[in-house]
Amino acid sequence: MLDAFDLAILDILQRDNTVSQREIAQAAHLSAPAVQRRIARLRESGVIRAEVAVLDANRLGRPLTLIVEVHLHEEHPSRTAGLRQRILAEPAVQQCYLITGEADYLLVVTATTMVDYEALAERLFGGDDNVRRFRTSVALGCLKSGLQVPLPQVQR
């Protein structure tokens, strides 16, 4: 169970995980060792899944963001295992969701050019007779992109 101190720590860390534990302790009204113990517990419990640098794909030569709907013939795990493995192994796939509705998967991918994307699509979907079709949309811009999870408000 998360308390107000945990939520305060998480709020700070998900905005900027380079903030020192001393600064977090001051903001959360805890001692630095208490913050350290709580962060360790949040990591061990899986509440904190990863601590990574979020990079700007455009500045790294990957200016295209594409949203891909994948439509399958069958959703049985034995028929989707290969596709799942290829998606998990592909660094250009930023996000993959299993979804309800007309499509079965929704992917967010990054590419350097359309030729690069076509090669990616061939790697992921080519030769897979369970992929009925895929539909690609090119993002023209980004209004919002983030990983912050809204946290409940806890009264102290």
The 3-state DSSP class for residue 71 equals strand
Burial of 97 per CB tally in 10 Å (0-12, 13-18, 19+): exposed
- Measured between alpha carbons, how far is 69 from 71 in angstroms, rounded to an integer? 7
Give the pLDDT confidence score for residue 32 in this predicted structure: 96
Name the pTM for this structure. Answer: 0.88
Q: Give percent of the chain above pLDDT 70.
A: 98
Token couple for 138: 């090119």
pLDDT by residue (tens digit) across 1-19? 899 999 999 999 999 999 9
**Rounded distance between C-alpha atoms, residue 110 and residue 138, angstroms:** 10
Q: Which domains does the chain have, with CATH numbers?
A: 4-44 (1.10.10), 58-138 (3.30.70.920)
20-64 confidence digits (pLDDT tens)? 999 999 999 999 999 999 999 999 999 999 999 999 999 999 999
Rounded to whole angstroms, the Cα distance separating 121 from 116 reads 9
